Amino acid sequence: MSEKENKLKKGSSKDLGAALKETTTKGNESPGNSSPLLQKLKGKLPILTENEKDEVLELRDLEPAPAKECIHHQKKFMYYCESCEEPICDHCSMLGPHNNQLHRINTLGDAYKSRVMMIHKMISTSLLTKRDQLIAQLYRIDHRIEEIKQVKTIIERDIKTEFSGVLERLRVAEGVKLTVLNHDIAILHRDIERINDIVRVVNKLTGDNAEPLEFLLKCQKINDMIEFTLTKPFNEKITVDAKDLPKELIEKRDKIDKINVVQTVVKMKDELVFEMIKEHEAQKVIVVGNITKAAQVEINEWTKLTDKFSDALKNFHKICFYCGCVLDERNVNSACNFNNRTILAAGFGYTVNVPERTWHGTRRHFYGHAKPEVTRGGKLHRVGIDAETAHKDEVVFRNQYQMFLEVLLSKVRKYCLEKQIKVEKVFSDHDKNKTGFVTHIAFVYLLNDQCSVSLADIEKFKTILDPENTGKIPYAELVKMINNPKYLAEYQAAH
């Protein structure tokens, strides 16, 4: 680590502050005064281009100008217009153009004090701080230049005897890096000199024998130049690095030793990887095709079987038109004690199918599909028969009706598993208040649209879950039936 780098880390800020103070206090003696580092680097600075020279502010415009009189009344300046930021005479405040409420009039002394305080505050809090940063950047760049030269010397000693062309390219790379860094030094030096000139002019205009009017005339321009200097950015990060200088000799030696082996290995790996990818893709297509085909066949078979049993169950689910008994082995050939009249009342009968008039009074059963009101809630509702017979018929009817519902639930369960539908989430999303109930309209829509259940089958679910037709359906019970096949029997037993 160089001596200059140690000095920078241990206390360069203090030395820089002293140098800046010296520059500030001696600014009136010579515009070229600066810190020892600036003097050291002065001979190293590159010549600025014409465009860069145009960017430098002309600080000589801040030199004191002779006092002027009011251009409107040829009177001596007595006041200062804060709104227009220009000195005025007493006639301007009475006769115009500064004689209305839009103009804030102040005395020259008060205007002078406020602006002196403002300028000094900007210099002490911001401008001098930036000068410290610029000078510190000069230290870092100077150290980086030395580091680059050292690394260059080491590399040059290794390649000098073998490749003159490599050495020449190294020198070119070094020149490019040094040019960039010297250009940064020139810009930083120019900014520091600008700050020193501003400080010198302000000290001169605000000294013991300074004229307030002269300062006020130049205050706005001083402020503009300070703002320009403060807002002008500088790159704190040194992008030029000594480590990326070309090391072609080492690279060439390594390449010569390894290129043949690497090429052979790469070629072998490419062939191996290509064959593996090709084989994997072929196997993947075969496996996916077989699984998809087998799964589709299985799904189709289960669908056909479910539809078959569902249709068969519907055909066997019949009751007697006259007495309402269930079609089974016990009742199929027995006499119907309720079919003893040739004339029936209007609306009489338990089935949708109606027998011919010649069937009335024959004491024979006529079986058909039950009316919806007869099978409300999955139970058989009949009157006019003894309790024991009604209980037996109801048990047989409920068992057959339960089988039908279980087949229907299995279809819904299978469809939801195939489509990866979460029934509970489907209903809960429409239950904003989390009451556990949905309306009949929402219930029909969700089952038909999301679960592909027919409207006729939905009506059967409605009769089970809402037998009293309250308008609200507890969807949690249906979710349990779908997820747990045994829950249907538990629910019917409880209700």
Strand, helix or coil for residue 370: strand
* Token pair belonging to 117: 């305080």
The span from the CA of 343 to the CA of 346, in Å, is: 10
The span from the CA of 210 to the CA of 166, in Å, is: 63
Run of H or E including 81? strand 79-81
Answer yes or no: is pLDDT of 28 > 60.
Answer: no
The confidence score (pLDDT) of residue 39 equals 53
Residue 231 lies in a domain: yes
Say how many domains are in the chain: 1
Residue 305 lies in a domain: no
User: Which range of residues forms the domain containing residue 41?
Assistant: 3-63+104-246
The confidence score (pLDDT) of residue 347 equals 73
Answer yes or no: is pLDDT of 59 > 90.
Answer: no
Answer yes or no: is pLDDT of 365 > 60.
Answer: yes
The confidence score (pLDDT) of residue 387 equals 44
Question: Which residues, including other chains, have CB under 8 Å from residue 22's CB and lie 6 or more apart?
Answer: 33, 35
Q: pTM value?
A: 0.30
Percent of the chain with pLDDT over 70: 76
Residue closest to 365 by CA, chosen among 343, 391, 397, 340: 340
- Asked whether 80 and 115 are in contact (CB, 8 A), the reply is no
Residue 308 lies in a domain: no
Residue 468 lies in a domain: no
The residue-averaged pLDDT of 288-312 equals 85
The residue-averaged pLDDT of 130-138 equals 90
pLDDT (tens digit, 9 = 90+) per residue, 414-457? 888 888 888 888 888 888 888 888 888 888 888 888 888 888 78
Neighbours of 233 (CB within 10 A): 5
Residue 210 lies in a domain: yes
The residue-averaged pLDDT of 87-116 equals 77
Residue 367 lies in a domain: no
Q: Does 46 or 170 have the greater pLDDT score?
A: 170
The confidence score (pLDDT) of residue 168 equals 80
Strand, helix or coil for residue 337: coil
Answer yes or no: is pLDDT of 19 > 50.
Answer: no
Residue 212 lies in a domain: yes
The confidence score (pLDDT) of residue 7 equals 41
The confidence score (pLDDT) of residue 350 equals 81
Which range has the worst mean pLDDT, 101-105, 215-219, 489-493? 489-493
The residue-averaged pLDDT of 20-39 equals 43
Residue 215 lies in a domain: yes
* Token pair belonging to 69: 């009189």
